[in-house]
Amino acid sequence: MVTAMVNSNTLLDEARELDRTDSLAEFRSQFHIPHVDNIEDLYLVGNSLGLVPRRTADYVQEELGRWANLGVRGHFLGSPNWASYHECLAKPMAELVGAVDSEVITMNTLTVNLHLMMATFYRPTKGRSKILIEAHAFPSDKNAVESQIELHGFSANESLLEVPSNDRGLLETETICKMIEEHADSLALILLPGVQYYTGQVLDMKAITKCARRNQVVIGLDLAHAVGNVAMELHDWEVDFACWCTYKYLNSGPGSLAGCFVHERHARNTALPRLAGWWGHQKDTRFQMTGDFDPIPTAEGWQLSNPPILSLAAIRASLDVFGEAGGMSVLVEKSKNQGAFFRRCLANRLGDQVQAIAPPAISGCQLSLEVKLEGIEGRSVYEALEAKGVRTDWREPNVIRAAPAPLYNRYEEIWKFVDLMVGCLRS
Ligand SMILES: Cc1ncc(COP(=O)(O)O)c(C=O)c1O
């Protein structure tokens, strides 16, 4: 594609105009922007740790206050009280992933939820023990899957099936579906990302799920990089289960609780085997303390423990911001515009010296940038940017991940990032 070269100042004017007319612009002031010596960071790493909304402190403080004033009575006094606090997150969380409220639960952490889901949905037999993942899966997913295979007495060497990426590092729907079809008889589970962490590629979750369902293979999704980034319809696509963290695009704090989706056709089925705990037991009889396990016929039935309320409060604060912003469709529209502007700045200022791995049609907020300049290490560019107050992240072996978040990043910051990159490459 030939891109007409535009003067850098013209791009800066354009960025300022885009910020001036951006209907989400005011949301930036709702976040704390990290800074050094009173100079704001150029923060493009919400794909790793999202920023803290200003209101989060109030929501957390409210629960600390209730704890101080009520002590143990906080479990059942007030609305929401702690025993039911997670319930007020179901609707906003379900909206983010295209689910019915009863299909979503906020609990544990991402890898723990993957294990819990596999305890239910990975039921290998001698002839059908394989799990399909991508060849460059996030390490924790691979660790979880391999340990599940071995826990069931199978060998990861034989039961782990990995989809290769193409020569551009991308996963092709056709390759994935071909492998599902070829191995359908021996596949017990498919576990794939919604958005690939390294490349930022958005997978065709709908088509892949359709293929899995057609071949009667259970499919789970890791949505760590997808939630709050791209629009999804997990219920309509009939995904079996999905898990995600809340500390990236969901701005809910380091190590905050995770989300989990169980399609209602499973969630209603209380006969499904699972790793159980008292918080998954029916609420009206939980405190009779009989020791029986009668699971709640929703995704709540997979809960183990009473959850950490301070973390739930931070998630609630963040989901309220998403709701006020108008939800995923509004955010995705801005993110697409920001992505297009980002690519135009890169092409105009750097030609093909810095390239995004995934093309626009299959990208979300994150651009995974490879430095293609002979003799220049991508990592040294990343470090030079870091020294100038630019927060992105470096992922081995060769990528700078930069992810403008539509809730708090401005177009002008994108322009500035590219301008600083030009400076780094010249020097
Ligand atoms: C794609 C993906 N999967 C899994 C994880 C692990 O998450 P956790 O440490 O919350 O279990 C991460 C963490 O960044 C991730 O990006």
Co-location of 233 and 358 in the same domain = no
The yes-or-no verdict on residue 167 having pLDDT over 70 is: yes
Given pLDDT bands bounded at 50, 70 and 90, which one contains residue 206? very high
Co-location of 286 and 331 in the same domain = no
Q: What percent of the chain clears pLDDT 90, i.e. is strictly above it? A: 97
Residue 196: half-sphere exposure toward Cβ, Cα within 13 Å:
27
CA distance 144 to 340: 36
pLDDT in tens, 357-395: 999 999 999 999 999 998 999 999 999 999 999 999 999
Kindly state whether residue 1 falls inside one of the protein's structural domains: no
Q: What is the pLDDT of residue 427?
A: 83
For ligand 1, mutation pick of 113, 117, 140 (most atoms within 8 Å of CB): 140
The yes-or-no verdict on residue 1 having pLDDT over 60 is: no
Q: What is the mean pLDDT of residues 205-214?
A: 98
Co-location of 280 and 260 in the same domain = yes
Q: Residue 220 C-alpha to ligand 1 middle, in angstroms?
A: 15
CA distance 87 to 296: 13
pLDDT in tens, 219-243: 999 999 999 999 999 999 999 999 9
Instruction: Give the amino acid at 254.
Output: P
SS3 content of the chain, % helix, strand, coil (to 5): 45, 15, 40
Co-location of 66 and 215 in the same domain = yes
Ligand 1 binding pocket, CB closer than 6 Å: 109-111, 138, 140-141, 193, 197, 222, 224-225, 245
Q: What is the mean pLDDT of residues 52-63?
A: 98
Total tally of structural domains belonging to the chain? 2
Q: Among residues 276, 308, 325, which one ends one of the domains?
A: 325
Kindly state whether residue 239 falls inside one of the protein's structural domains: yes
Nearest CA to ligand 1 atom 13: 224
Q: What is the pLDDT of residue 378?
A: 95
The yes-or-no verdict on residue 116 having pLDDT over 70 is: yes
Q: With contact defined as beta carbons under 8 Å apart, do 219 and 242 qualify?
A: no
The yes-or-no verdict on residue 3 having pLDDT over 70 is: no
Q: Residue 195 C-alpha to ligand 1 middle, in angstroms?
A: 12
Tokens representing 132 are 């399909």
Q: What is the mean pLDDT of residues 35-61?
A: 97
Nearest CA to ligand 1 atom 16: 224
Co-location of 101 and 231 in the same domain = yes
Q: Is the bond preceding residue 80 a cis peptide, omega within 30 degrees?
A: yes
Nearest CA to ligand 1 atom 10: 110
Domain that holds residue 171: 58-325
Co-location of 220 and 348 in the same domain = no
> CATH number for the domain including 422?
3.90.1150.10
pLDDT in tens, 172-192: 999 999 999 999 999 999 999
Nearest CA to ligand 1 atom 12: 224
Co-location of 310 and 333 in the same domain = no
Co-location of 265 and 397 in the same domain = no
Q: With contact defined as beta carbons under 8 Å apart, do 222 and 192 qualify?
A: yes
* Host H or E run for residue 96: helix 87-97
Q: Find residue 283's DSSP bridge partners.
A: none
Kindly state whether residue 44 falls inside one of the protein's structural domains: no
Q: What is the mean pLDDT of residues 164-178?
A: 98
Which of 363, 315, 354 has the alpha carbon at shortest distance from 335?
363
Q: What percent of the chain clears pLDDT 70, i.e. is strictly above it? A: 99
For ligand 1, mutation pick of 107, 111, 225, 368 (most atoms within 8 Å of CB): 111
Q: Among residues 266, 293, 325, which one ends one of the domains?
A: 325
* Mean of per-residue pLDDT scores for the chain: 97
Kindly state whether residue 101 falls inside one of the protein's structural domains: yes
CA distance 88 to 80: 7
Q: What is the mean pLDDT of residues 274-291?
A: 97
> CATH number for the domain including 74?
3.40.640.10
CA distance 365 to 232: 14
Q: Residue 352 C-alpha to ligand 1 middle, in angstroms?
A: 31
CA distance 12 to 412: 7
Q: What is the pLDDT of residue 4?
A: 54
